[in-house]
Chains A and B, each alone.
Chain A
């Protein structure tokens, strides 16, 4: 399996789209988490100026993962499988040795590995930015505990992994990239966004929204310090609850990953490859 994963890492590493996504994600992540809100009205923002200081790093960054980060991870997942259909390379891989499930496993493992630098890059860029802001404000530099940082990075990875798995499923389902990305963004904005907005007032929607990536992602983010008032004012990715407790959120996200992977494997195994 190591050889197959290393093959997939080579494919991802040499692909310009991977680096472009990583660059844009990191730049925009810092831009929207720090630069824009700090420049506009740091004092009046829901979290106050303290949210831009190093000690608030996990919460401030994680608030951007469940929607904004999710779209990037979704694209990464779509590219990992959907592009193979467009290029016709899936058949080239399938007629090598390993079998379809193993090919999928290698792609998922490589994707999981590639998500790590995505999370780390944003945390490093966020840390540098928060340090600069603290210097500007003349505030003392207090870093969050290492344990909180580790848990936050792991949570960020998990949230991105769910979206990437959804991207893989959509790539397999639509056998391409364009429609898969379109459907994915439509799902993130319209299905999750609109239904979540009504969930507060329409109680019958609550059980449904409780399994949404948005609800569970934000629930984990708030548990690690993200401000619910900030999340509520998060533009198209806003969420006003209800939040679920962390164990439930973790279980739901893990179950969603398993479901997306199982469905992808089923489709990949059963369908003909042109």
Chain B
């Protein structure tokens, strides 16, 4: 399958089964566009890492098709333009960070001058001569990102890159990912940390039980803005608001009215209620958080809302 148009990753009905009973990835259709930072979200065990492994040729799909940069996954021509860190970064424990990168640079066919450049990029130059076994989890994460950057890749795949980082390290990593995603480089960021994804991604795909359950921009996934209104008498206020033509739904939550309507309608609703003699004590725009959307999308069948 050749990559279509500007899609750098394209999967069609991608499936991975282990035995007869375990379906890790189930008919996944994924399209990642050139130049975007794509957030790949899902709870633990949803199939994110298995999908990434299939994209990199580490795991053979049971069925379906996949193209990465127009090449079959795991092919040398494709891998030459892909940098990746999948799951926990793995290095030779007795080699220094620098020597680990030298080994990988030789395998990747890039000049060893890249080693110092990527070490500086992830702020690891000071500890580069130490054995990687002595690194903290956060330093190993940064070394993993450095390894992924060695080829100055067109496509960067990062699986949970902020694992083990302290808050400052996470902020640095987010900044790094944001900067890496500028220009024509495509970044696929797999994570279950909503804040991380919300802040750096252009589009998001949500996977549950191996299947894609939603895809779009963060704004699209969060949906239209709603309004929260505190007014008395509440029942009369709800009746009046519900009568407006562009209001989809009015529900009562914790003494507030949750109104599904474009937030630009706030002045109209305020005027309507005040003119009807209803006391309005609060009125503000409210959007669902990505976390709320994620939890809704990924909760198990039959689980209460």
**Residues of chain A whose beta carbon lies under 8 Å from any beta carbon of chain B:** 3-4, 6-7, 10-11, 14-16, 87-89, 91-100, 102-103, 106, 270, 272-274
Contact = CB atoms under 8 A, between A and B. Distances in A.
Nearest to A8: B103
B58 A7 contact: no
Interface stretch (B80-88, B187-195, B263-271): B80-88
Given A88-B88, A91-B86, A97 B94 contact: no
B285 interface: no
Given A7-B106, A11-B92, A95 B86 contact: yes
A270 B74 CA distance: 12
B295 interface: no
Contact of B76 (A92, A98, A274): A98
Given A4-B106, A6-B106, A89-B90, A11 B95 contact: yes
Nearest to A83: B92
A96 B104 contact: yes
Given A95-B79, A97-B80, A89 B91 contact: yes
B152 interface: no
The 10 closest A-B pairs by CB, nearest first: A88-B90, A7-B106, A96-B107, A3-B106, A96-B108, A272-B59, A273-B58, A7-B103, A99-B76, A95-B56
Interface in B83-124: 84, 86, 88-95, 99, 102-104, 106-109
30 contacts: A3-B107, A4-B106, A4-B107, A10-B106, A11-B92, A14-B92, A88-B90, A89-B90, A91-B53, A92-B91, A92-B104, A93-B107, A94-B57, A94-B74, A95-B56, A95-B57, A95-B58, A95-B79, A95-B82, A95-B86, A96-B107, A97-B76, A97-B107, A97-B151, A98-B109, A99-B79, A100-B74, A272-B53, A272-B58, A272-B60
A3 B56 contact: no
B261 interface: no
Contacts of B92: 11, 14-15, 87, 89
Nearest to B75: A99
B147 interface: yes
Contacts of B82: 95
A97 B109 contact: yes
Contact of A97 (B79, B86, B93): B79
Given A4-B106, A10-B95, A99-B76, 7 more contacts: A10-B103, A15-B94, A91-B53, A92-B91, A96-B151, A273-B58, A273-B59
A269 to B, nearest CB: 10
A14 B94 CA distance: 8
Contacts of B56: 94-95
A158 B293 CA distance: 64
Q: Which one of B60, B88, B106 has the highest number of Cβ atoms from chain A below 10 Å of its Cβ?
A: B106
A11 B91 contact: no
A103 B74 CA distance: 13
A96 B76 CA distance: 8
Contacts of B86: 91, 95
Interface string B57-75: 1111000000000000011
A96 B107 CA distance: 6
Contacts of B88: 88
A272 B58 CA distance: 6
A11 B109 CA distance: 17
A89 B95 CA distance: 12
Contacts of A3: 106-107, 109
B82 to A, nearest CB: 7
Contacts of A98: 76, 107, 109
Interface in B22-78: 53, 56-60, 74-76
A11 B102 CA distance: 10
Nearest to B59: A272
Nearest to A7: B106
Q: Which one of A11, A87, A94, A97 has the highest number of Cβ atoms from chain B below 10 Å of its Cβ?
A: A97
Given A91-B58, A95-B82, A99-B75, A7 B107 contact: yes
B107 A103 contact: yes
Contacts of A272: 53, 58-60
A173 B109 CA distance: 28
A97 B82 CA distance: 9
A106 to B, nearest CB: 8
Q: Which one of B53, B82, B99, B107 has the highest number of Cβ atoms from chain A below 10 Å of its Cβ?
A: B107
Contacts of A96: 79, 104, 107-108, 151
A8 to B, nearest CB: 8
